């Protein structure tokens, strides 16, 4: 049996930042990563955005309106495989998709993201995370899409994000490789991006340098509980114990927590296709609104990422969804039409039905902390999540109100709604 002060299950962006914050405070921390190297899942293959501008949670009135026309099309931005096990999650999703709850969720995610963006900047000054702050460009192919972008920009302007509404001509001045004929664009100059694999590697190495232990190729498959405590984690390398356990296992958290607490996470499969960088590279990430596709410039390549497929833990590659990404990329960035495809990737994002992360200590288990369900915001929120978890491990009050992220917010579908404690403002608080 291996012992540690804290055992972190999951070595992606969240787990790496948790380990970093704990190790920097002198805590003896061990990380278990099921892949051959840390950050081998969605923490490697995501779009690399660090973007407070895209804080809208998954459930919303717009999602309910658009969803039925999308979900059964294999080439649409959103798809699902009809399964009985998905029905309760979808019912909770629909229940959360009110205008009021979507607005509150967006305020929470945006405020947390702004705090986490500042932490990204601090970490980049100390470690080689690949952080680049050249902003983010949203482009719109249709007049209706551009109208949506302007309305979204007005909301973000009120939140202090300083969006810039641009004509199609101005957008092409910023990014000359974009195709002609766009309806318009909105630029968010404060957003950032990085190579996510590089970020996880840098944070992992920094944590190891401060004393953290990383076990790769070790899969946790069960938690052993006695009373109100987790007394061991069953792994492929044997039983491991710790004073506290942090579940940062992404979409696999639900299976690990089974029997201890209810964690309604659904796997949302996403894809990326990488191309050799064209002779004239993008200067910043571009989000194409209509197909919900992201084009991110990375060293020597362009990563085209997108789609959300509610497919559970199914890792099958759907050729139609890959083709949709390739088609959208060539339509928006014509220079990619003849570029060599370097690789195709897919991974499974952990999604809660109300669109908020699940971060906190459940009431029923004294020494267990969850850090999961970040959906498409995992890279953005990883540094702040690391700080929140470190505070919880050390029995300190977190510097932000993490009440809306509580694992205990989910109750029976047939019972009354649990009242969520929403923060008045995350952005106004500061870490000493």
| pLDDT at 275 exceeding the cut of 70 | yes
pLDDT band with cut points at 50, 70 and 90 for residue 419: very low
| pLDDT at 183 exceeding the cut of 90 | yes
Q: What are the residue ranges of helices labelled H in 315-400? A: 319-332, 378-393
Q: What is the mean pLDDT of residues 190-204?
A: 97
Q: What is the mean pLDDT of residues 238-260?
A: 95
For the chain, list the domains and their CATH numbers. Answer: 2-135+190-409 (3.50.50.60)
Rounded to 5 degrees, φ, ψ at 332 are -85, -35
Q: What is the mean pLDDT of residues 375-391?
A: 98
pLDDT band with cut points at 50, 70 and 90 for residue 71: confident
Cβ contact 74:320 at 8 Å: yes
pLDDT band with cut points at 50, 70 and 90 for residue 272: very high
What is the tens place of the pLDDT at every residue in 117-146? 999 999 999 999 999 999 999 999 999 999
Q: How far apart are the first and last CA of the chain?
A: 38
| pLDDT at 3 exceeding the cut of 70 | no
Cβ contact 136:188 at 8 Å: yes
Q: Annotate 331-366 with b (16+ C-beta within 10 A) or e (fewer).
A: bbbebbeebeeeeebbbbbbbbbbbbbbbbbbeebe
| pLDDT at 409 exceeding the cut of 80 | yes
Predicted TM-score (pTM) of this structure: 0.93
pLDDT band with cut points at 50, 70 and 90 for residue 40: confident
Q: Report percent pLDDT > 90 for the chain.
A: 85
Q: What CA–CA distance (Å, rounded) separates 394 from 309?
A: 37
| pLDDT at 294 exceeding the cut of 80 | yes
What is the tens place of the pLDDT at every residue in 303-338? 999 999 999 999 999 999 999 999 999 999 999 988
Q: What CA–CA distance (Å, rounded) separates 82 from 17?
A: 35
Question: What is residue 425's predicted lDDT score, i.e. its pLDDT?
Answer: 38
Alpha carbon separation from 22 to 8, 186, 394 (Å, rounded): 10, 38, 9
What is the tens place of the pLDDT at every residue in 18-33? 999 999 999 999 999 9
Beta carbons within 10 angstroms of residue 313's beta carbon: 12
| pLDDT at 430 exceeding the cut of 60 | no
Q: Please count the residues of the chain.
A: 432
What does 68-120 look like in DSSP terms, one character per residue?
Answer: HHHTT-TTSSEEE---GGGHHHHHHHHHH--HHHHHHHHHHHHHHHHHHHHHH
| pLDDT at 432 exceeding the cut of 50 | no
Q: What CA–CA distance (Å, rounded) separates 391 from 408?
A: 18
The sign one gets for the Cα dihedral 59, 192, 14, 424 is: negative
| pLDDT at 343 exceeding the cut of 50 | yes
Beta carbons within 8 Å of 10's beta carbon, 6+ residues apart: 31, 32, 33, 247, 248, 249, 250, 252, 253, 372
Instruction: Give the up-direction half-sphere exposure of residue 363: CA atoms within 13 A in the CB hemisphere.
Output: 5
What is the tens place of the pLDDT at every residue in 74-127? 788 888 888 898 999 999 999 999 999 999 999 999 999 999 999 999 999 999
């Amino acid at each position: 049996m291996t012992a540690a002060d804290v055992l972190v299950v999951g070595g992606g962006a969240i787990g790496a930042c948790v380990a970093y914050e704990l190790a920097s405070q002198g805590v003896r921390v061990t990380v278990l990563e099921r892949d051959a190297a840390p950050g081998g899942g969605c923490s490697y293959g995501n779009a690399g955005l660090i973007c407070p501008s895209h804080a809208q949670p998954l459930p919303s009135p717009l999602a309910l309106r658009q969803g039925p026309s999308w979900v059964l099309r294999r080439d649409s931005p959103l798809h699902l495989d009809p399964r009985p096990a998905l029905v309760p999650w979808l019912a909770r999703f629909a229940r959360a998709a009110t205008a009021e709850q979507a607005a509150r969720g967006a305020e929470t995610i945006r405020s947390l993201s702004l705090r986490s963006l500042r932490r990204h900047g601090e970490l980049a000054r100390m470690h080689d995370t690949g952080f680049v702050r050249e902003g983010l460009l949203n482009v719109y192919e249709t007049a209706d899409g551009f109208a949506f972008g302007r309305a979204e920009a007005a909301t973000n302007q009120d939140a202090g994000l300083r969006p810039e509404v641009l004509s199609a001509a101005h957008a092409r001045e910023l990014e000359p490789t974009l195709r002609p004929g766009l309806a318009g664009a909105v630029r968010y100059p404060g957003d950032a991006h990085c190579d996510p694999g590089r970020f996880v590697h840098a944070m992992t190495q920094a944590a190891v340098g401060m004393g953290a232990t990383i076990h790769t190729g070790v899969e946790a498959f069960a938690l052993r509980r006695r009373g109100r405590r987790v007394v061991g984690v069953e792994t492929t390398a044997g039983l491991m114990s710790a004073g506290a356990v942090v579940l940062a296992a992404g979409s696999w958290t639900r299976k690990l927590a089974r029997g201890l607490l209810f964690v309604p996470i659904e796997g949302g499969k996403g894809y990326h296709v990488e191309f050799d960088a064209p002779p004239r590279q993008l200067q910043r990430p571009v989000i194409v609104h209509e197909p919900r596709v992201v084009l991110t410039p990375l060293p020597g390549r362009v990563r085209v990422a997108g789609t959300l497929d509610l497919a559970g833990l199914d890792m099958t590659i759907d050729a139609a969804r890959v083709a949709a990404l390739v088609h959208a990329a060539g339509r928006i960035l014509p220079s990619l039409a003849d570029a060599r495809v370097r690789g195709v990737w897919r991974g499974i994002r952990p999604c809660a039905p109300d669109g908020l992360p699940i971060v906190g200590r459940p009431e029923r288990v004294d020494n267990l902390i969850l850090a999961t369900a970040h959906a498409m915001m995992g890279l953005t929120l990883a540094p702040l999540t690391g700080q929140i978890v470190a505070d919880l491990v050390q029995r300190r009050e977190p510097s932000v109100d993490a009440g809306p992220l509580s694992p205990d917010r989910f109750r029976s579908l047939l019972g009354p709604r649990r009242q969520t404690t929403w923060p008045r403002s995350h952005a106004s608080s500061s870490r000493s």
